[in-house]
Amino acid sequence: MGLPVVGMVGGGQLSRMTHSAATALGLSLRVLADAAHDSAALVAHGVVVGEHTSLADLLSFAAGCEVVTFDHEHVPGSLVRALEQEGHRVLPGSDALLYAQDKQLMRERLHSLGVDVPAFAAVGGAADLDAFAAEHGWPLVLKAATGGYDGKGVWVVDDQQQAAPVLASGVRLLVEELVPLRRELAAVVARSPYGQAAAWPVVETVQDGGVCVEVVAPAPGLSEELALAAESLALRLADELGVVGVLAVELFETADGLLVNELAMRPHNSAHWTIEGARTSQFEQHLRAVLDYPLGATTPTAPWTVMANLLGPQDGEDGGDGGDVGGRGELDRRLHMLFAHDPALKVHLYGKALRPGRKIGHVTALGEHLDDVRRRAREGATYLRSGSWPR
């Protein structure tokens, strides 16, 4: 029908949910997946299996796409630039994406823009840690400059002995103060090439072991002043860094105000709640933005929305996939029970194999009363994961 083809590099759940939004818009989302069983590869029509670190694979994938975008930040910057030089439209572009890919460059750029960030330094060796600790004290946070996600690549270390294996791993590291944070927030916005921008309400995100487990929209008890500050900061960063698409700004709330932890230039876990909780979801908005369509309204559809991530079962928990082969299994039974228990709860499953702690889906509850909405979301996620109702 003459509608454009959008290419998304990466076949994870973000790509899968963007595919749903693309379907509604009548667009084709072409996906470059690592493997045929990747989350999005299981559902999208135009799936190419290839390597996001191979220029040849990226170039053949990009051919015929109106625009290429990303579901992760692991495509090397040199390859993103090479795609651009070959005339492909890549959004967000390499100049912006850099600051979502490399945590050291991100910190330096934010600092130079006058944005508050945790104290940080590059790490060459153990002596740098002593020097940093002399100023900021132990424990410290070591971070892989590139390639980390879901807390993989973040280590809180009490002393040199704990830091030693991380230093010995050979990954490029930065060191940060361990921020005495009250809680974590995220300000998520979208920006189009035309320069239009739109923000969703600032949310609270809850992490467990570096992995997001819950998002509450809007952030409870956040003063209007801080909410506005967070939103304006995200809009300003989108503009100054030239981001196109969704930009998530992860924030630490401290006694002294807000610090920026991290930037993500793609749909983000902290905005999954927008699928049901806002007039326009982050996935639709990302598509609209990269295609330079006018952006959709970000108005909330309920006073409160809570999203709880569904993580792969830990040891001793029965994830419910065992009986699935060739029949209606345990997970199917749990869905049945949960839907009977709470007909208003929304469940998203990503089609991913169960591994402990891996994000395999999420549930979303909406409503008038925060306590109730949060309880329902937690109940749904706990029951699907473990087969037991939380006590």
Ligand X SMILES: Nc1ncnc2c1ncn2[C@@H]1O[C@H](COP(=O)(O)OP(=O)(O)O)[C@@H](O)[C@H]1O
Q: Which residue is nearest to ligand X (CB)?
A: 179
Cis preceding linkage at 92, omega within 30: yes
370 binds, among Mg ion, ligand X, none (CB under 5 to 8 A by kind): none
User: What x/- string results for residues 184 through 223 when contact with Mg ion is judged by CB under 5 A?
Assistant: ----------------------------------------
- Applying CB under 5 A, among 204, 262, 276, 379 the residue interacting with Mg ion is 262
Give the span between the Cα atoms of 376 and 380, in whole angstroms.
6
Closest approach of Cβ 384 to ligand X, in Å? 23
118 binds ligand X (CB under 6 A): yes
The single-letter code of the amino acid at 188 is V
Give the span between the Cα atoms of 69 and 367, in whole angstroms.
33
276 binds, among Mg ion, ligand X, none (CB under 5 to 8 A by kind): none
Give the span between the Cα atoms of 293 and 299, in whole angstroms.
18
Q: Which residue is nearest to Mg ion (CB)?
A: 262
According to CB under 5 A, which residues from 229 to 258 bind Mg ion?
A: 250
73 binds ligand X (CB under 6 A): no
Give the span between the Cα atoms of 199 and 297, in whole angstroms.
9
| Token output for 113 | 């823009």
- Applying CB under 6 A, among 46, 76, 148, 329 the residue interacting with ligand X is 148
Closest approach of Cβ 268 to Mg ion, in Å? 9
Q: Cβ neighbours of residue 298 under 8 Å, at least 6 residues apart?
A: 198, 199, 200, 201, 274, 278, 279, 280, 285
139 binds ligand X (CB under 6 A): no
Give the span between the Cα atoms of 54 and 47, in whole angstroms.
16
Neighbours of 241 (CB within 10 A): 23
Closest approach of Cβ 148 to ligand X, in Å? 4
240 binds, among ligand X, Mg ion, none (CB under 5 to 8 A by kind): none
According to CB under 6 A, which residues from 153 to 182 bind ligand X?
A: 153-154, 176-179, 181
For ligand X, the closer CB: 88 or 103: 103
Give the span between the Cα atoms of 356 and 312, in whole angstroms.
4
119 binds ligand X (CB under 6 A): no
Distances (CA, A) of 341 to 296, 331, 380, 383: 33, 15, 9, 11
Closest approach of Cβ 240 to ligand X, in Å? 21
Distances (CA, A) of 177 to 99, 135, 141, 155: 20, 9, 6, 12
149 binds ligand X (CB under 6 A): yes
Q: Using CB under 6 A as the criterion, which residues of the chain lie in contact with ligand X when the complex forms?
A: 118, 141, 143, 148-151, 153-154, 176-179, 181, 184, 207, 210, 250, 261-262
